[in-house]
Structure 1
């Protein structure tokens, strides 16, 4: 969205038109909608802006729920925005620590600032992009204690704030591989962020796969997954970091939240022979390197050194892993595997893999599956040797 589109959208006519549209559906006849709106006398730029916003509002529902219908978005801002339930957890840290004046540096469309303002905190949302800052102003308008400033995060005056939240954006232009970014490849830079942590209590949102070598020793690192999808790593400093906790895995599921915490990475459990059950740890547990602690809580061991599968003779319910019953150990050879699956009439196959160089989609095609039975196949290593495990979810 450019500045002219935003001006069209924020006009009284634009907002009325946007709110009058029916909920966006993927099967909507967009061409007909454009034609109808043009026939009604609306300018082409306005029609384009409101239809784009209608689509973004529908796309935003998984993150913002019913609030999405009253917000404005940019494509990039929505992609980077924190889910509302996760943002509420962020805001809860600031409130619990007794902090009242928070700067949201690099606020984007204002997702985290919304949650902070809803906790009755005084929030200043700061973003360097003019259009994004204007959209944040619209989204935060219902909260009198929230203000938006169009400014560079690193030059913003923090003298009136007692804490800060930061969501650094990655500068990926010109990089073919962004898995190990330099601290200066972020905006604001991580050097600025970590220097700020020496002066002010702060929380920082980073990608869940962020280089662990860049985590400061004094920070609490918390990985969060939502319904099994790993969404972020949060770093907490000062009074926002919990005493004695440096590694945490928080899983948010419909039945409620659950968390594993530790003072440091946990030592892996011993490798044991394949048992009747297999556990696949949640991604938050894996990234937090708390697999060993999870294994010991389940009376389980590692299936193979360095591979995030656990095995045990008995099964226990846990929110931190998916449990499978091992039905059979099949030949790892592709031809023999095809025959074994055909004998069982398996026509639908979920393939999971760790520790082996195989593309599941390509393998599934080559297996030429036929039949009416569904199954799950795990390709991995047991005690260092490749294995193909036919399993069912517990």
Structure 2
């Protein structure tokens, strides 16, 4: 995709090609291309339309129905914020009194569009000309061009005194190759610029990778990890006046009608350690990444069985939206031979394998167990007091009360 192809897709002929591509894009690629060419669509336009149709199908999982009218790149789609997360962030900014926002490194515009839908005036800056043009096209397609404008340029040169707040999602993939960048100094904009924003702008939000080193979190910032329907999708730093707590874990559902649930705390506490008890609780990854296992343990009246492993144990089932609960039936020092014999005796042919603190590969273990039978169980590979251990468990069914209220 280049600027000329994008321009062609935005013509009436291009719109017709996109409609035709959407109808055939889920079939064989060669057959789809042949169908468009047979309909009189030039080869180059057909290829661009089919690429967009494929990306739009993938984007539906992130953006919902609005994805059908967006212009996308593969790299931009991978880094773009999910619609539910962007909408919640926009509402929090609006509730904090933000009326004008700079989106520095706006990408395809997912966050900026959510902010514009919340009534915030957004000024987007994007270094890549094609991505900037797509963001502008997305604003126009959404009917938000009056609230979200895009300029192609250097995000570090934007005059932040023009706005109430700044949002920055540094590019974490290399231009051209698309490879992930793990060194923050190589982000675009670079990390030193990003962290300096918090000192210059009283309201700053920075989207970061969920695996961010806690040592990189600026002093006084709130670090939030967000999980959607069980998947950890991002972390964000809320700086200056936007910071409310040191650490926060937030769980969202795909259904926007279900409110978010939040767990907050200092992020520097340690949970008590005790023996394995009857029920195991597997915390959501947002809780683990936010270092809020101790706060969750308080809610559950739970303990750890190993100080380095984030599995929590209780004597009674504790249904909680931040955890999955399993009932422990057996506790064994790990031995492949003994485990295989036990599962064979019980007729176990299907296992779910969970692991924390184990170097074993679930796929290889499944092959080594040579399972047969009709029964099912859950295997938890972990450590107890530093020793490799396997727990046989049965999931405790969720109830309506487990979902956010």
When normalised by structure 2's length, the TM-score is 0.91
The alpha-carbon deviation at position 169 of structure 1 amounts to 1.1
**1:119 matched to which residue of 2?**
118
**2:129 matched to which residue of 1?**
130
**1:7 matched to which residue of 2?**
7
For the residues of structure 2 that align with 1:13 and 1:204, how far apart are their CA atoms?
39
Paired residue total: 388
**2:237 matched to which residue of 1?**
235
CA gap 1:12/1:179 in 2 versus in 1, 3 angstroms: closer
The alpha-carbon deviation at position 158 of structure 1 amounts to 2.6
CA gap 1:20/1:179 in 2 versus in 1, 3 angstroms: closer
**2:54 matched to which residue of 1?**
55
**Correspondences of 1:199-348 after superposition (within 5 Å):** 199-200=200-201, 201-242=203-244, 245-253=245-253, 255-262=258-265, 264-348=266-350
The alpha-carbon deviation at position 266 of structure 1 amounts to 4.2
Whether the 8 Å contact between 2:172 and 2:182 is mirrored in structure 1 is no
The alpha-carbon deviation at position 20 of structure 1 amounts to 4.0
Q: Which runs of 4+ in 1 moved over 6 A?
A: none
For the residues of structure 2 that align with 1:280 and 1:351, how far apart are their CA atoms?
12
For the residues of structure 1 that align with 2:172 and 2:280, how far apart are their CA atoms?
37
For the residues of structure 1 that align with 2:11 and 2:25, how far apart are their CA atoms?
25
Bigger Cα displacement from structure 2, 34-43 vs 3-12: 3-12
For the residues of structure 1 that align with 2:152 and 2:181, how far apart are their CA atoms?
30
**1:194 matched to which residue of 2?**
195
CA gap 1:256/1:92 in 2 versus in 1, 3 angstroms: closer
The alpha-carbon deviation at position 21 of structure 1 amounts to 4.0
Whether the 8 Å contact between 2:204 and 2:238 is mirrored in structure 1 is yes
CA gap 1:116/1:35 in 2 versus in 1, 3 angstroms: same
For the residues of structure 2 that align with 1:221 and 1:9, how far apart are their CA atoms?
40
CA gap 1:36/1:24 in 2 versus in 1, 3 angstroms: closer
For the residues of structure 2 that align with 1:347 and 1:76, how far apart are their CA atoms?
41
Whether the 8 Å contact between 1:346 and 1:370 is mirrored in structure 2 is yes
Secondary structure at the residue paired with 2:103? strand
Whether the 8 Å contact between 2:100 and 2:122 is mirrored in structure 1 is yes
CA gap 1:173/1:74 in 2 versus in 1, 3 angstroms: closer
**1:152 matched to which residue of 2?**
154
Deviation track 1:282-332 (CA, whole Å, cap 9, x = no partner) reads 111101111011111111101211110010111111111111100122451
**Correspondences of 1:71-110 after superposition (within 5 Å):** 71-110=70-109
Give the CA RMSD over aligned residues: 1.9
For the residues of structure 2 that align with 1:285 and 1:266, how far apart are their CA atoms?
13
The alpha-carbon deviation at position 194 of structure 1 amounts to 1.2
Whether the 8 Å contact between 1:180 and 1:211 is mirrored in structure 2 is no
For the residues of structure 1 that align with 2:64 and 2:180, how far apart are their CA atoms?
31
For the residues of structure 1 that align with 2:181 and 2:121, how far apart are their CA atoms?
35
Gaps of 5+ in 1: none
For the residues of structure 2 that align with 1:259 and 1:375, how far apart are their CA atoms?
31
The alpha-carbon deviation at position 256 of structure 1 amounts to 3.6
Gaps of 5+ in 2: 397-405
**2:33 matched to which residue of 1?**
34
Whether the 8 Å contact between 1:179 and 1:211 is mirrored in structure 2 is no
Bigger Cα displacement from structure 2, 10-19 vs 211-220: 10-19
Whether the 8 Å contact between 1:127 and 1:150 is mirrored in structure 2 is yes
CA gap 1:98/1:77 in 2 versus in 1, 3 angstroms: same
